[in-house]
Structure 1
Amino acid sequence: MQSTANLPVIGLDLAKSVFQLHIVDVETGEIQRRQIKRAKLTEFFAKCPPSLVAMEACGTAHHWARAIGALGHRVKLLPGQHVKAFLLRDKTDAMDAQAIWVAAQQPHIKPVPVKTERQQTCMALHGMRRQLMKIRIMQTNALRGILAEFGITLPVGHVQLLKTIQGELAKAQQADLLSTDLVVSVQEQLKRIDALQEDIDHLGQRLRAMIREDRQMQAIQQIPGVGDLTASALVGSVGDFTTFRSGRQFASWVGLVPRQVGTGGKTQQLGISKRGDTYLRTLLIAGARSVIARTERSSWISRLLERCHYNVVVVALANKMARTAWAVLAKGATFDHVKWNSTESVNA
C-alpha cells in the first residue's frame, strides 16, 4: 500500500443520510465539494483511487472506517475537538468537510485508532450496563424520597435499601402510615428494580465470557485494582496500546496527569486534566480506591497517605495502574507482582 504522504486526501463529513466530501486535486489544485447519499457512499469509494480518507471520530465513524478501509483506502479518524480549530466562518457540512481535510494533514494531531467489531461490541455492553445502572439508581432514589415523605428513612445504597425496605414497609403498614395503594405501587417498583438487576447481571456475565476469550484482558486483570469491568473496558476502548509511545502518554490520554499552565518560562502544575475517556478514568480511580481501602496497604501507599491528600493518592495509584496496563499490553510482558511491589518501595 502507498505511504500516507503520497496519497490524495479526502475530507469526509459523516451524517445520517447525506455525506459531504471535500477533495483537492493534487495536480491542478481544484477544489471539489460534493454531497453523496448514504446508499451511494460505498460505491463511490469502490471506484475512487486509493486515498487517505479523513473523518471525525463519532458514533458511526468506526463502521465507515472499516468499510472504506476494506476497499483499499487509508482511513484517519480525527478527534472532533482538534478539527474544530480549523473550522472557518459559519458551521456547515461543506465547512466541516474542509476543516477535516485541513486537520488530516497536521502531523501533530494524533489519530483515533479504528475499533474492531469486537471492541465495539464490548463497549456497547458497557454502555448498556451503565444506562441500566443509572436507571436503577434513579428508581431506588425515587423510592427513598417517596417513603421519606411518610417518615420512613431508608439507608443509602442499592443493596442496603433492598435488605431493609420490606421490613420497613411491614412496620409502616402495622402503624397505619402507608395506604394499601402506595404499598402495592412500591412493591411493583421493587419488581422493576429486580428485573433491572437481572439485566445488569446478564451483561456482566457476557463481559466475563469475553474476558475468558481474550488474553489481553486476562493479562491486565493481574494488576491490583483492575477487575472485570476495567480490564474489558481498557482493551475495548484502546485495542492496540502500541499507538501510545509510553505509559505516561497513555495516562495523559486517560486524563490522569496534571494540567500545565506556563508563561514567561514559568510552568505551574494544576489538577488532573480529566481529558480522554471519562468512563475509563472513573473505572481506574474506583479500582485505586478499592486497593487503598484494603486493610493491608503497601508501604508506598502508606507513606503517600502520610504526606498527601487521600484523593491525590487515589489518582497517583490510578495513574500507576494505567501505566502498568500499557507496559503489559504494549510490550507483551507478564505482570510481575514482585516488580510492582519493589517499584513501590523505590518510589516511596
Structure 2
Amino acid sequence: MSELATVGIDLAKTIFQIHGVDESGRVLVRCQLRRSQLLAFFQKRPRCLIGMEACAGSHDWGRKLQGMGHDVRLMPPSYVKPYVKRGKTDAADAAAICEAVTRPSMRFVSIKSVACSSVLVLHRTRDFLVRQRTQIGNAIRAHMTEFGVITAKGAQNVGRLREQLDRLPQAARLPITLLFEQLAETNERIERLTEGIKETHAQSETSQRLATIPGVGMLSATIIAATTPDVDNFGSARDYAAWLGLTPKPHSTGGKQRVGRISKMGNRYIRRLLYLGAMAQIMLRCRLKREPSSDWLSGMLMRKKTKIVAVALAHRMARTIFAVLRDGSRYEPQSA
C-alpha cells in the first residue's frame, strides 16, 4: 500500500483542507479536517513532506508538526498562486500547495521559533501604537485649529496645545481633554514596549552584533535578528537586499536592459528602519558640517539627491547585515 509522501495544507480558522500524494504523485488523501483533528491525523503517519502557505498561525503549526518528525516547509502565498489550476476553492488551494512545495526552484520561509515570534509581536504592537499616537496627535491639531489654536510641526509639539485649552469653548474642552489623556496613555504603552525590546536586545548576541553596524539601532537589530537569524536561504548579499525591496526593479525586453526604482517588496518595516538609519547618518554628517572627503557617501551626496543617497546607503547596510549574519562576526570599519 502506498504511503503519503507529500501533503499540502490549506490553513484556515476552523476547517483545514488536506491534499496528499504518494511518491508517484497519485492522490491518496483529499479531505477536510477540523482544527482539533489536524495533529492527530499526522501523529499516526510516517515522516512526510508538508507544505503550507506562510500566514498567521502557520509558524505555530509548523513547529508542532516538526516536533512529530515531519519535514515542514512554508511558502509565500504569492509563489503558490501560479500553481492553482482553476477557480478559488480550498481543495484547489491545497492541491496547489502540494504541487508547489515539491518544486526545486521554490523559495521557502524559515519557521520562526517561539522567541522570534514573541519579538515580532513586540515590534508590531509598538508600531501599531506609534501609528495610533500619530492619529491622535493629528486629531488634536485638527480640532484645535477649528478654533484658531495652532502650534509648530512635529509630534513633540502636540503637548504644547494642552496649555491653550482655556482658549476653547467649554463644550469642546472635554473631548479634546480625553484625546490628550489617550495620547499620554499611548505614550506610556509605547515606552513599556520599548523597554521590552531593550531587554530582548540585551539578551540577544545576534542583535548586539548587528547594532555595531552604523545606522543599525536597537529596533533594527532586534527585528532583523528575529526575522532572519539565518541567511542560508539567500545566495548572496544582493539577494538579501532584494528580499528587503532595496534593489532596482528590472523591466527588460527585446535585449534592452531597463532598471527602475527600487521594488519595495518584502518586509516594509525593516526597509523603513534601514532607510531611517541611513537618513540619520546623512543628517549627522550634515549637522557636523564635515568637509567633503573621498569616501563613498561624500561622493554620492555631491552627485545625487539626499533621499536617493539614503536608499543607496540602506542597500549597503543590508549587504553589511547579510555579511554579519553569515559570518557570525561584528562589524569592523575599513581602514582608510
- What is the TM-score normalised by the length of structure 1? 0.91
Summarize the alignment of residues 207-218 of structure 1 with structure 2, pairs less than 5 Å apart: 207-218=197-208
Of 182-191 and 82-91, deviating more is: 182-191
Indicate how the Cα distance of structure 1 residues 222 and 28 shifts in structure 2: closer, same or farther if over 3 A, else same.
closer
Summarize the alignment of residues 286-301 of structure 1 with structure 2, pairs less than 5 Å apart: 286-294=276-284, 295-296=287-288, 299-301=295-297
Cα separation, 2, equivalents of 1:187 and 1:286: 33
- What SS does structure 2 have at the residue aligned with 1:201? helix
**Which amino acid is 2:83 matched to?**
F
Which residue in the other structure is 2:238 paired with?
A: 248
Superposed CA offset, 1:91-116 (max 9, x none): 00000001101111211121001001
Report whether the alignment pairs 1:61 with 2:58. yes
Report whether the alignment pairs 1:233 with 2:230. no
Contact 1:226 1:284 in 2 (8 A): yes
Structure 1 residue ranges, 4+ long, deviating more than 4 angstroms after superposition: none
Query: Offset at 1:326?
Result: 1.1
- What is the TM-score normalised by the length of structure 2? 0.94
Superposed CA offset, 1:206-246 (max 9, x none): 00000100000000101111111111111111121232222
Query: Offset at 1:282?
Result: 0.8
Query: Offset at 1:156?
Result: 2.2
Cα separation, 1, equivalents of 2:25 and 2:164: 79
Contact 2:229 2:325 in 1 (8 A): no
Indicate how the Cα distance of structure 1 residues 212 and 96 shifts in structure 2: closer, same or farther if over 3 A, else same.
same
Superposed CA offset, 1:175-205 (max 9, x none): xxx2123223322221111110000000000
Summarize the alignment of residues 123-138 of structure 1 with structure 2, pairs less than 5 Å apart: 123-138=120-135
Which residue in the other structure is 2:85 paired with?
A: 88
Which residue in the other structure is 2:257 paired with?
A: 267
Contact 1:78 1:110 in 2 (8 A): yes
Summarize the alignment of residues 1-348 of structure 1 with structure 2, pairs less than 5 Å apart: 8-26=5-23, 29-162=26-159, 164-170=160-166, 172=167, 178-294=168-284, 295-296=287-288, 299-337=295-333, 339=334, 342=336
Contact 2:19 2:27 in 1 (8 A): no
- What SS does structure 2 have at the residue aligned with 1:266? coil
Which residue in the other structure is 1:346 paired with?
A: none
- What SS does structure 2 have at the residue aligned with 1:226? coil
Cα separation, 2, equivalents of 1:15 and 1:114: 18
The number of residues matched between the two structures is 328
Unaligned runs of 5+ residues in structure 2 are none
Contact 2:50 2:72 in 1 (8 A): yes
Which residue in the other structure is 1:3 paired with?
A: none
Superposed CA offset, 1:262-285 (max 9, x none): 112221111001111111111111
Contact 1:248 1:323 in 2 (8 A): yes
Cα separation, 2, equivalents of 1:13 and 1:138: 37
Cα separation, 2, equivalents of 1:291 and 1:303: 15
- What SS does structure 2 have at the residue aligned with 1:267? coil
**Which amino acid is 2:237 matched to?**
G
Contact 1:115 1:239 in 2 (8 A): no
Q: Percent identity?
A: 35
Unaligned runs of 5+ residues in structure 1 are 1-5, 173-177, 343-348
Cα separation, 2, equivalents of 1:118 and 1:30: 37
Contact 2:4 2:20 in 1 (8 A): no
Query: Offset at 1:333?
Result: 1.8
Cα separation, 2, equivalents of 1:254 and 1:208: 24
Cα separation, 1, equivalents of 2:269 and 2:237: 19
Cα separation, 2, equivalents of 1:7 and 1:336: 50
Instruction: Kindly report the root-mean-square deviation, in angstroms, between the aligned alpha carbons of the 2 structures.
Output: 1.7
